[in-house]
Structure 1
Amino acid sequence: MKKIILFTVLSLAFCNPLFAQSTAAADLSIDEKIDAAIAPTATFISDIIFYEISIAGVGIPLILVWLLAGAVFFTFYLSFINFRGFKYALDIVRGKYNQPGAPGEVSHFQALTAAVSGTVGLGNIAGVAIAISLGGPGATFWMIMAGLLGMSSKFVSCTLGVKYRDEHADGTVSGGPMHYLSKGLSEKGMAKAGKFLAAFFALMCIGGSLGAGNMFQINQATQQFVAVTGGEASFFAAGNAWIFGLIMSVLVGLVIIGGMKSIAQVTEKVVPLMCGIYILAALVVLGANLSAIPAAFAAIFEGAFTASALGGGLVGVMIQGLRRGLFSNEAGIGSASIAHSAVKTNVPVTEGFVASLEPFIDTVIVCTMTALVIVVTGSYKMDIGDGIALTSASFATVISWFPMVLAGAVILFAFSTMITWSYYGLKSWTYLFGNNRAADVSFKVLFCIFIVLGAPMKLNSVVAFSDAMLFAMSIPNMVGLYILAPTVKREMQAFLAYARSSKKQPLTEQAVEAAQV
């Protein structure tokens, strides 16, 4: 309990203006004081995590190489399971391999929507526009490649998340990199290394959940809400943005208080709805620009392989696409396996198949639809800006009122991302401080407080710091995935043998093992 209180006090101090008083002039705003206090630490950590090497005059973050190398390795090591397993993934989501009475809290579909809600969001709206602004239409091709390769990383991570999860007496479960790093590496004779990597991941995940999964999300949602309710003249813009944060905090609190089951019940409705509306709007825009689609695909493929591409030539366009693709679907970071580990199954690899659909939905479908809209409308050639502004302007060329819909989508994306990341942070928090009521309640309260704090703030350093922590999660996670990949491969081969068997038995661990013999 003392550890929880200490961590909570330090976390609140992180966003307390008194904490920043000594490092900023008295006439600075609260936001500026906090930003000034955190800037040195944020810059130092961000510079380490996003350290760049130069290739053909283009800076390439090593963390991107780390994630991409893993995605490529797992794709080849598992014999392109991202493609071969697609049919099985759809069958499992549809319930073909359901196991009545299996341990867990949510269905395969609910686990998938919960995880997708943590990735589908601002990266699909603003991130894609930034990639095309910097790398041209060709960046779209490399985003798609990042999504396809990322499917393999998600397959490995989420299989391990279920395999090494903890099942509690009340029926709840806890899984994710913290557990497969500590347990899995212990099985390999690396217990001390596993515990250290697990604790490091959990600490980074808490920081990522409070920053990138919370404050950044509510801040962007608040800005969009202010924009559609009067801009600078809006009631919420006049020093009252915290009220919007408070409202969102209450809504988030009402959902997360019920745990993973409650989160999954919301995401299974919200995620298909918001993705459906967004894709439908994209199809309307594409339909209105039907004659421009062939030229758009030509521009995408030509731009992907020509040195005349924007942003540093061929290397530049490749990096922009891969970076936005991998950063959008978070393949290799390990966060999604925390949600997937709550699934009802006693055959872990089934959820690996389901999880592989996540980058496909996030990057190959949603990101590609955004990219096509921007390319066919030609908006990226105009001086509109980048990010949400460019995406909004592209849709508005056909649907004049779409900026209002986009604002609503951003708020829904932010809401669903927050409730999912609250679960990621909670499981990391309870891993460090114990799976008890005090730890559970303290984190949920802390998370809701950060929503209120994040709404009015303009904290560039906080965002940089939280982003660094988010991607720092991939360092211990990928180490564990490499070491435990043979375990995943054995389970994959066993399931495939079972699935192809002519004598089908009910899906159990024993039936899967027997089919491989």
Structure 2
Amino acid sequence: MADTATSWTDSVEEAVNGVFEPVAEFLGDIVFHTVDVLGTEFPLIVGWLVVAGAIFTAYFGFAQVRHFRLALRLVRGKYEQKNAPGEVSHFQALTSAVSGTVGLGNIAGVAIAISIGGPGATFWMILCGFLGMATKFVECTLGVKYREIHADGTVSGGPMLYLRKGLAERGLAGLGKVLAVLSAVMLLFFTFFGGNLFQVNQSLEQLQSVTGKENSFFSTSGGALLFGVLIAVLVSLVLIGGMRSIGAVTSRLVPSMAILYVTACLLVIGFNIDAVPDAIVTIFTEAFAPEGVAGGLLGALIQGFRRATFSNEAGIGSAPIAHSAVKTKRPATEGVVAMLEPFIDTVVICTMTALTIVIAGGPLYQQTRDAAMTGEAIDTSTSAGISITSDAFDTALPWFPYLLTIAVILFAFSTVITWGYYGLKCWGFLFGHNRTTDLIYKIVFCTVIISGALLSLGVLVDLADAALFLAALFNIIGLYLLAPVVKKELRKVLEYTRRRDAGETEEQIEADEADPTGEATSLAK
């Protein structure tokens, strides 16, 4: 019976791959088009994202450095605004967005980057995360600025709204409508197959690896189906509750996951504290002069930038959907808070993973490093990345792969519910928001969860990645055109926080903002 079920799923997978493989290859050739730079193939889309981060960093005067402390004060609730429209606090909006980015990219993507690009890729990941903080600031400010608040108090926001409404204000209504629709379509496609199927499939892979591999109950069709159904039920319960429910879950789940994972990394680093200085020297040295790494300096740079981009999603347009639900009257407050997202995701968690792998090593890591040095083909699947990370932990903490499995499943769960919300907002923009359309979306989304546990649709994941980066192409065009709007909003927030710090009340500041000429005050006197 099991053989029949396996044969059936293999047949379905083969049929689906046969349909989508030509499309995936066509889009992949366009989206990930490369140019030869010093003998190394450089993907233009990665350059597009990194250049955007560099331009926004310069344009806003290194906002990610200058306003970092302000971001922390906002998250702690120092400037909470009474009766502000929205659904969740700054902290809940941040954790909801972080839950969509922190996950398998941090655990598996980092391993792939440093096994192929060498330990020096870590440096370029950190740099990419730093630049991504500026991009997140811009897109999330716009997300709140042009959001829509419905009669029931729920909020819709994201690139599909700020591209349409913001560009219309600048006399580019036609361009805005086209970019908005294309961005929504691409994000919706990724929702189903990247933010959903991909996460479930790879968390099941890790569960199977610690419960007997081929002999595991979860390696059978029945076990995989049970896992998929369980995740689908849990996700549906959270999605029914809307953004408030998602914010409540992620505000507890994400910090706990991050603390668990970073603590394990710190344990490995602490047990091997003598090796830390050498590891840091190796990372910085190989960032600029990697020896025996495929592609040399550019090879390390490309791997670092590409994996960091996959991980923190800066410029993609997904995070503004979650951040738009924040309770605030001043859009740039959430833009400032959003800068913490790439910092947590890439600068902190990815760096912890990289240091753990470089220090602990492990047979799989060494094998991929040796293969990269000799120019052999590397298996860059995410499961290979998870195996490398798990192997490194097993070398230093033999018991941790079991806890890692729990972390992976929780990371995947939080990512799925967050992308479920992102997809719902894109779906509503394209097909309208009502009970019927929302129900259809949730049924389709949960069905994909179950199939993610049964199938390994690599072609669809490749196609989803192409869609995600196309969304970045459309989104960043709009960000460039709307950057002056963000600068105005930032000035308002800096003035507001300055006055709050000086002891003025919310009511005083709002009265002055409503009457900037002071005429009402003069008449009252």
Output the TM-score relative to the length of structure 2.
0.91
CA contact (8 A) 1:52 1:60 kept: yes
Amino acid aligned to 2:392: S
CA contact (8 A) 2:365 2:388 kept: no
Is 1:66 the equivalent of 2:48? yes
Amino acid aligned to 1:409: A
Distance 1:455 1:26 in 2: 14
Is 1:47 the equivalent of 2:38? no
1:271 to 242, 247, 254: 254
Distance 1:205 1:130 in 2: 24
Alignment-derived partner of residue 367 in structure 2: 383
- Match of 2:42, SS state, is strand
Is 1:100 the equivalent of 2:82? yes
Alignment-derived partner of residue 455 in structure 2: 457
2:311 to 328, 340, 344: 328
CA contact (8 A) 2:105 2:307 kept: yes
Change (3 A) 1:96 1:297: same
Alignment-derived partner of residue 134 in structure 1: 116
Where do residues 202-351 of structure 1 align in structure 2 (5 Å cutoff)?
202-240=184-222, 241-306=224-289, 308=291, 310-351=293-334
Q: What is the CA RMSD across the aligned residues, in angstroms?
A: 2.0
Shift of 1:516: 13
More displaced stretch, 419-428 vs 398-407: 398-407
Shift of 1:500: 2.9
CA contact (8 A) 2:365 2:392 kept: no
Unaligned 5+ runs, structure 2: 1-6, 369-378, 519-525
Distance 1:62 1:50 in 2: 7
Change (3 A) 1:199 1:286: same
Amino acid aligned to 1:257: I
Alignment-derived partner of residue 483 in structure 1: 481
- Match of 2:101, SS state, is coil
Shift of 1:88: 0.6
More displaced stretch, 406-415 vs 378-387: 378-387
Shift of 1:162: 0.3
Output the TM-score relative to the length of structure 1.
0.92
Alignment-derived partner of residue 429 in structure 2: 431
Amino acid aligned to 1:327: F
Alignment-derived partner of residue 31 in structure 1: 13
Amino acid aligned to 1:300: I
Change (3 A) 1:175 1:117: same
Is 1:82 the equivalent of 2:80? no
CA contact (8 A) 2:107 2:350 kept: yes
Distance 1:251 1:443 in 2: 16
Change (3 A) 1:512 1:93: farther
More displaced stretch, 432-441 vs 123-132: 432-441
C-alpha distance after superposition, 1:156-215 (max 9, x if no partner): 000000000001000001001010000000001111111111011111111010010001
Change (3 A) 1:515 1:316: farther
Alignment-derived partner of residue 365 in structure 1: 348
Distance 2:9 2:474 in 1: 42
Amino acid aligned to 2:297: L
Shift of 1:514: 8.4
Change (3 A) 1:441 1:510: farther
Where do residues 402-441 of structure 1 align in structure 2 (5 Å cutoff)?
402-441=400-439
Change (3 A) 1:219 1:28: closer
Task: Report how many residues are paired.
Answer: 493
Alignment-derived partner of residue 445 in structure 2: 447
CA contact (8 A) 1:31 1:457 kept: yes
- Match of 1:97, SS state, is coil
Change (3 A) 1:413 1:509: farther
CA contact (8 A) 1:156 1:481 kept: yes
Amino acid aligned to 2:206: Q
C-alpha distance after superposition, 1:241-294 (max 9, x if no partner): 122111110011011111101111110111001100000001110000000000
Alignment-derived partner of residue 506 in structure 2: 506
Distance 1:416 1:436 in 2: 25
